[in-house]
Amino acid sequence: MNKDIDYYLNLNWTLIEGTDLDFNGNPYWYIEIKEIPSFAFCAKTIEKARENYKKQLRLQLMLMIEDEEEIREPGDEDEEEDWESLCP
């Protein structure tokens, strides 16, 4: 299967939504994606964040594909640490 930008954009990403305050104390909404820890999108309302985060996601995925970075997909298992090899 060819995993191109459209393939990745149509995955069922695990969205993390929240709110915070900017430097001036004004509220804003953010969306993060669990599988892509470096992804974050912010907007003044949750509606705008949900409406527009995929534009930012497209750009991020394009860079990741270009740089041949591994893209963790929804449902991929986290690799468990081998604690015995980490501890003497």
Tens-place pLDDT, residues 37-72 = 999 999 999 999 999 999 999 999 999 999 999 999
pTM for the model stands at: 0.78
The answer on pLDDT for 82 being more than 90 is no
Domain boundaries, the chain: 5-70
Q: Which residue has the tokens 């015995």?
A: 84
The H or E element containing residue 65 is helix 46-66
The answer on pLDDT for 6 being more than 90 is yes
Q: Please, which pLDDT band fits residue 76 given cuts at 50, 70 and 90? A: confident
Q: Please, which pLDDT band fits residue 2 given cuts at 50, 70 and 90? A: confident
- Give rounded-to-5 percent helix, strand, coil for the chain: 35, 25, 40
Computed over every residue of the chain, the mean pLDDT equals 90
Q: Which residue has the tokens 């893209």?
A: 71
